[in-house]
Structures are given as C-alpha cells and as structure tokens.
Amino acid sequence: MITRNPHLANLKAGYLFPEIAKRRREFAAAHPNAKVISLGIGNTTEPILPHINAGLVEGAKKLGTKEGYSGYQDEGLPELREKISKVFYKGKFSIDEIFISDGAKCDIGRLQTLFGTGVKVAVQDPSYPVYVDGSVLAGAAGGWEETGYAGITYLPCTAENNFFPNLDLIQPNSLIYFCSPNNPTGAVSDHAQLSALVETAINKSCIIIFDAAYSEFIRDPSLPKTIYEIDKAELCAIEVNSFSKPLGFTGVRLGWSVVPKVLKYKSGESVHADWNRVMGTIFNGASNIAQYGGLAALDDEGLKEMRALTDFYLGNAKLIRDALQKLGINCIGGDNSPYIWAHFPGRDSWEVFAEILEKHQIVTTPGAGFGPAGQGFVRFSAFGHRADVEEACNRLQAIVTQ
C-alpha cells in the first residue's frame, strides 16, 4: 500500500477554525436554547451590495449566450487585471504581472510550490494559521515543539514592540510571511516599518509574501495599503489580496497575486515565470462569473459600495472595541482593521474562549491558536449582523477579567 505524505504527520492537532466550530457545536448540543453569537472566524455576513451583485448576475447571463460565453481564463480576464493594476497599484504593474485566483488563502498555499522543502520560513507571531500549516505541508518546517515548529522562525509581535517584530531574527535566504493589517492582531504597519522590512529582505536575500487581504479597511491615509508603496519592494516581494472581506465574496471566491517580473531567485531565474507555470499547471482560473463581479466592484459605483461595506464592519469593530475598553480590557485593532486583539493577562486563551462561550454565548478565537505569542489574547471579529454585535456588546459587560 502507498505510504502517507510524511509532512501531514507534522501538522499539530486540527486546523484552528474547524476546532472552534466543533466546540461551538458541542456547546449548542448541550444548550439547545442558547442563542450563540459568533465573533470568531472572519466570515462575512452582509449581503453583496446591489451594483456588485448585478455584475455577478450579468456575468452569469453572458455565459448563456454565444457571444458572451468564455471558457478557461488561467491568469484571469485581461480587463479585470488591468483594473486591479489601475485601482490598487496606480498602473505600476502590467496585466501579466497580476494573476487572478480563487482567493488569497489558496494562493498562499500554492506559492509554497515555488520554493520547495528546503526553504527557511519566517512568520509573524501571532499569524494567520495557513502561513505555518502551509509551510508544514510543503515540508518547509520540522516537527512540533513546545514553542512552535522547529523549522520556522517565529517573529514575536507584542505590545512591547508595538506589534512589529524584531527583524534581526530573520535568517538569510528566508521566505517571510507578513500581513498588514495583521490577522489576528489588527495592527497596521506604517511606512517606516515596512521600509525596514523591505530593506531587511533585500539585504538578507529573502522574499516576502505580503498578505494585504484587509487593506481596504485602512482609513488612516498615512498607512500603506500595499507593500509596493515602499521603494524597491518589487525586488523582494509578492503580494496577495482578496475580494472576500471588502466585497463579501467569502462564498464567491476571488483574489489575486502580484508577482513582479523583476523578482528573481538567488540564481537569477524569474519567479514570475515560475508562478505563471504553476498557475497554468495546477489551476484553471477563477470563476468567470466571480470575475465579472470583480469588474463591477472596481468601477465608480462598485468602489462606493466597497467603501460602504467596509465602513459597516468597521462600525461593528468600534462597538466591540469600545465595549471591551469600558471593561478595562486592553486591546488593539478595530480602527483600520475588522479584528480586535484583546488582552487577558495571565489567562490561558482557550480558557478565556471557553468562559466567554459558556457564560455569554459568544464565540471568539483564542489567541494561542495563532502562535505562541498569542497566548493570553482573544481575537474578536467584527464580521456580524449589527443587531448581533450590539447584543454581544451588552453581554460582554458581564465579563469578569480577573
């Protein structure tokens, strides 16, 4: 009988969010009359807004006509790639440097195929679990130890360093996963911080995979929304982004990656050429219907709707953050991000998660699930119906923090 992929055995326990869903189901089964409110996973809740939805409908209608039918679009519709370059990057990139996909998470997993099992990996700690788990599955990390995976360099992001890591910890020739606005902490890196990151990557011959999936929640105009606002970033960075959170496309699935043509491996080969080959080999393109929705989102009316939807979730975030701060709970995020990172010093994250669920019927996300530096924190998500968020905030007033 064929043997199992040995890297699967290195994965620690279950993936974080299915584990949370399992505990929620168990609680609901034991308390069938409880109204559970989820402020846990980052799954959007509000309907797709009318203009963008009309783009999806029109895209579906086109496929039912001889003139409008289209088949495989491996790299994505040219007109969508052109709009992404214009709207998000001020035309900095040609359309063949932009690859349309079924979401940032999928791209992050596929990107590991470019670097193989021997690459060194550095991640923010805490960080989105797929950076670590994807590296483990690709064989780029060792077995689990008490402080994390042996083959991964964790870059602690704590209150003491203003949630921006010590870049001296990054080893030369590493693949650096970096997310801003950060998931889970909600922290947003400023221009000077990202400039230091780019300088470090160039000096240490590293490549950054920059996750900008929450960039449309940034309201402070001084904060960069893309790594390519930083000088020379195209020499060391790949960016992934997504329509999931700003458009409510979590169930539609549409994202993109930017791989500049000037980005090279140590030996001089083109990273762009390899990504083009990978995408053409193991991916046949995002849904054409979804891409028509993306096109609608990037015209003037669609951009207004995107702003309105992200404003709505930021309004939820403010309610949650204000409620926590009234209780004396220190937290960050919730201003330029839909996540609030709440500190419960001296407490185990899973214990706090269980207490909030059992006493207040609110689902959160334990910070320890995002990495060792997440211990003692809980993430609150602003993705929810306004009435549910308001009720959850009322319930939070009863939390005992000591």
Residue-wise pLDDT for 243-284, tens only, equals 999 999 999 999 999 999 999 999 999 999 999 999 999 999
Confidence of residue 141 (pLDDT cuts 50, 70, 90): confident
Tokens of residue 303, six digits:
């951009």
* % of the chain with per-residue pLDDT over 70: 98
Of 355, 282, 290, 325, give the one whose Cα is nearest residue 77: 290
Question: Average per-residue pLDDT in the chain?
Answer: 94
- pLDDT of residue 400 exceeding 70: no
Instruction: Flag whether the pTM goes above 0.85.
Output: yes
CA distance 102 to 290: 9
If you write DSSP's letter for every residue of 155-175 in order, what string do you get? EE--GGGTT---GGGPPTTEE
Sheet holding 331-333, edge to edge: 331-333, 339-343, 377-381, 365-366
> What are the strands, taking DSSP E only, across 83-191?
98-101, 120-125, 144-145, 148-149, 152-156, 174-179
Contact 119, 141 (CB under 8 A): no
Which amino acid, 307?
R
Mean of the pLDDT values across residues 216-244?
98
- pLDDT of residue 59 exceeding 90: yes
Of 110, 124, 232, give the one whose Cα is nearest residue 169: 124
- pLDDT of residue 53 exceeding 90: yes
For residue 301, give Cα distances in angstroms to 37, 47, 86, 240: 32, 16, 16, 24
Confidence of residue 14 (pLDDT cuts 50, 70, 90): low
Confidence of residue 13 (pLDDT cuts 50, 70, 90): low
pLDDT, residue 401, reads: 45
- pLDDT of residue 346 exceeding 50: yes
CA distance 115 to 99: 18
Taking the CA of residue 272 as centre, how many other CA atoms within 13 Å lie in the half-sphere pointing to its CB?
Answer: 18
pLDDT, residue 402, reads: 41
Q: Cα-Cα-Cα-Cα dihedral of 10, 12, 15, 20, to 10°?
A: 170
* % of the chain with per-residue pLDDT over 90: 84
If you write DSSP's letter for every residue of 375-387 in order, what string do you get? TTEEEEE--S-HH
Work out the number of other CB atoms within 10 angstroms of the CB of residue 74. 14
